[in-house]
Structure 1
Amino acid sequence: MTAHRPIEKDCCSGGAGLIAPEAALARATRLVSGDLPDTLVPLLTARGMVLAKDVTAAADGPPFDACAMDGYAVTTAALAGSGPWAVPLAGDLAACDAPCALLKGHALRVLTGAALPTGADAVIMQEDVARVAGDIRFAKRPAPGQNIRAQGCDMRKGATILPSGRILTPRDIAVAAASGQGALTVRTRLPVSLIATGSELQDPGAALAPGQIWNVNLPMLAALADRRWIDLAPPLTIADQLAPLAEALREAAAHARLILTSGGACDGETDLVARAIRAAGGDGETLKLAMKPGKPLVLGRIGRAIVLGLPGNPVAAYVAWQMIALPLARHLAGADPTPQRPCYATLGRVVSRAPGRREYRPARLVGHDITGRPMLDLGPRDFSARVAGLAQANGLAILPADTAHFEAGDEVQFLLF
């Protein structure tokens, strides 16, 4: 059994002129010019946006010593002897009540979240107390600090609790609310345009003439780009004609910061994306990546807009989105560009492949091996032509470029969807 870790960083050459996906992404990010402007949004609408400024706590959290549960506040030093004890009850204190002082030798009934009475140093949970007439009775001595949330134990005033660059999750919104922030400074949404190219493409559901296929990439990429921090223009489908494609790119570049195309990324007679970028007044080149699927990639710029030409094969387009387009979009949006870290899993069966390019193969989690590690079932060798495998997969198994054969039980990297 062989463990293949870590994957190579920039050595998956696979042949003359091929570059690693990381190198292609680095080349694309060097084309970025200027940040998106900031805007202030209410906390209730900030989820999914890119945080533009650090969030600091407006006050200690909690802002006072708080009772951690329903019970009775007491002063431990006033409990003489070894118990049991009977302590007179002086009243009740709810979470909304102003702080008060505890009468010496007495107890106060307190509810969760209430400010700890001055002079009290412990809260006895109500299940450990019996109420008899005007007293509470208990047998176990409470410890100082018991069932108390000390002021500032969660966060201190002025401390950074959310760094800029985060794509705000519901958990982040909770933290911001707890810090006293009613509004957050975020990046404006990243303008993105999406263009599918191909004279053979028809809308899904339409009748197909001979030689035509349904347009898979347009709805797939639109769904992948359906994120709060992205402002996606209405997607377009353009036939394999240079002038209309160049005009569509020129119009998209007037407002978009990222233009994604699918199809036409190779060097064939009808592969027009790089030429159309140049015809639209920009600069474009066709790259060959040491990546399977997704070898062809067009990279260019028209004005401030970066153009990324993805392959027409849907599985290749999906992989190129995950490995190149999404990290680039995050960078453009001002989000933390750190890519998702893969985990490790074992192969459930023997896998053989042609070496030379790093392979990103859809894979399905099928349980755990005898050591408790997650185990994968990989799609067939011709997976790049099988769209149905995407729906059955949980992620992408990453097979190193220089390895042709894997035994059952070998460990590989796995990128969860």
Structure 2
Amino acid sequence: MTGILLTQALEILHQNCRKIDETEYVSIEEAVGRVLAEDVHALIDQPPFPRSPLDGYALSAGDTEGSSKERPVSLKVIDEVFAGGFSERRIVPGTAIRIMTGAPIPDGADCILKQEDTDYGMDTVKIYTSLKPWQNYCFAGDDYKKGMTVIRAGARIGAAEIGVLVGMGSTSVKVFRRPRVLIMSTGSELREPGEPLGPGQIYDSNLHMITAQMRIWDMDISAYSIVHDEPDDAAAFIREHAGQSDLIVTTGGVSVGKKDIMHDVMKILDAHQLFWKVCLKPGSPTIFGLYEGKPLIALSGNPYGAAANLHLLVRPVLAEMAGRPDLMPRKVRAVYDSGFLKSSKVTRYVRGVYDNGHVKTTGSNESGVLSTMVGCNCMVIIPAGSTGVEPGEEMDVLLL
């Protein structure tokens, strides 16, 4: 298929990628950002014992009846307990135990009086208010009880999830394997940073931009490299690493020039091409196909064309493979303060900065210009057939 709409391209991509169902156990330290492969059930009650939620005195509510600042009740302080310790003494009528936040509540106590409502007595304490049974009392299992489902399969592990896992003593967790991405940049003019530039040569920003974005999205990179404009070399690189990869992403060589090698590469690999060219700007001549069942997305070599379609086409594939709906870009409406006066035969994606319901252009939107992506957090969607957008019009914006 040639010259298809973005919606058609996304549907073809959806039909030809699969969620990765292989799982692995990782340590808690390595679990941040991973997707849970099974429900997590509490291993213990949390807290595992009744604990004090504040600094004060553990006592019996019955001993505080009628107490006030004017007519305080006095209780004998028989012990003191801190977080990490415990008291072997039992509360009986007329006694109290000094207690600190997080400490186990002693037997016989049914409430905790905050120290601000006392005279802070050490041997005998004066009580300035009355309490009800179980007031300021944190029961065992108040957060969660043993056996309770505390995190559902499919959840992405963040700081709170790590806290819950560690709080019940877990040292490892079962997660889905991350997608492994093979990245190839084509072009005999490309050089790595630190290498001297000869006539007509440039440093390869695309390769490192794409690998950086994969790391930001928490993907694994199986291999990445520059390959010169030799179809056999490019095909050999893909063959070598495809077996350890779930997705192949290339940049460059997708148009109709003499050195646009990806068409030949697809033939050499006997890959099944499913579309070429998507009706959008920038990066229209994207190729998509399957090599040994692995999705292969060949992006434009123009830096902004590659960057835009990394979000428009590659990102949805990775979201599905990784079970990461949070990875999908979100669309909002915003007032376009800058406007865009060019006409657009096809849907155009203009880089911009979104802030509080307004969006403005960051500068040049030419495909070969990358510097105006710095600070960009969205793309303004200019619909096909537009004769220009005046400043102040409301537009759809894709947040990145």
The aligned residue for residue 8 of structure 1 is: none
Letter in structure 1 aligned against 2:214: A
The amino acid of 1:296's aligned partner reads P
Structure-to-structure mapping, 1:302-341, within 5 angstroms? 302-336=291-325, 339-341=328-330
- One-letter code of the match for 2:371? A
Provide the C-alpha distance between the structure 2 equivalents of 1:305 and 1:30, rounded to a whole number of angstroms. Answer: 12
Q: 1:410 Cα shift? A: 4.2
2:361 is the alignment partner of 1:378: yes
**2:239 matched residue in structure 1:** 250
Q: SS of the counterpart of 2:290? A: strand
> Post-superposition shift, 1:337?
7.0
Residue 104 of structure 1 aligns to a residue whose secondary structure is coil
CA offset at residue 409 of structure 1? 4.5
In the other structure, the counterpart of 1:35 is: 20
**Normalization by structure 1: what TM-score?**
0.83
Residue number in structure 2 paired with 1:60: 45
Point out the more displaced range, 317-326 or 226-235. Answer: 226-235
**Larger relative contact order, structure 1 or 2 (CA cutoff 8 Å, min sep 6):** 1
CA-atom RMSD in angstroms: 2.9
8 Å CA contact 1:33, 1:304 repeated in 2: no
2:125 alignment partner, one of 122, 132, 136: 136
Q: Deviations over 1:257-284 (max 9, x none)?
A: 1111001223444322243123113212
Q: How do residues 4-403 of structure 1 correspond to structure 2 at under 5 angstroms?
A: 17-20=3-6, 22-32=7-17, 35-84=20-69, 85=72, 86-98=74-86, 101-132=90-121, 134-142=123-131, 144-226=133-215, 230-336=219-325, 339-365=328-354, 373-380=356-363, 382-401=365-384
SS in 2 for 1:235: strand
- Give the Cα separation in 1 of the matches to 2:11 and 2:146: 39
* 1:268/1:184 CA distance change after superposition, 3 Å: same
SS in 2 for 1:27: helix
Moved more, 48-57 or 340-349: 340-349
> Residues 380 and 99 of structure 1: is their aligned pair in 2 closer, same or farther, counting only changes over 3 Å?
same
Point out where structure 1 has 5 or more consecutive residues left out of the alignment.
1-15, 368-372
Structure 1 window deviating more from structure 2 (294-303 vs 327-336): it is: 327-336
Secondary structure of the residue that 2:188 maps to in structure 1?
coil
Query: How many residue pairs align between the two structures?
Result: 395
Q: Structure 2 regions of 5+ residues with no counterpart?
A: none
Q: CA deviation at 1:164?
A: 2.6
Question: Residues 271 and 165 of structure 1: is their aligned pair in 2 closer, same or farther, counting only changes over 3 Å?
Answer: farther
Distance 2:207 2:321 in 1: 21
TM-score of the two chains, using structure 2 as the length reference: 0.86
Q: Is the 8 A contact 2:353 2:375 kept in 1?
A: yes
Distance of aligned partners of 1:75 and 1:407 in 2 relative to their CA distance in 1, 3 Å threshold: farther
The amino acid that maps onto 1:385 is: G
Query: Quick one: structure 1 residues 242 and 410, their matched pair in 2 at CA, closer, same or farther if it must change by over 3 Å?
Result: same
In 2, Cα distance between the equivalents of 1:23 and 1:337?
22
| TM-aligned CA distance change 1:404 to 1:175, over 3 Å | farther
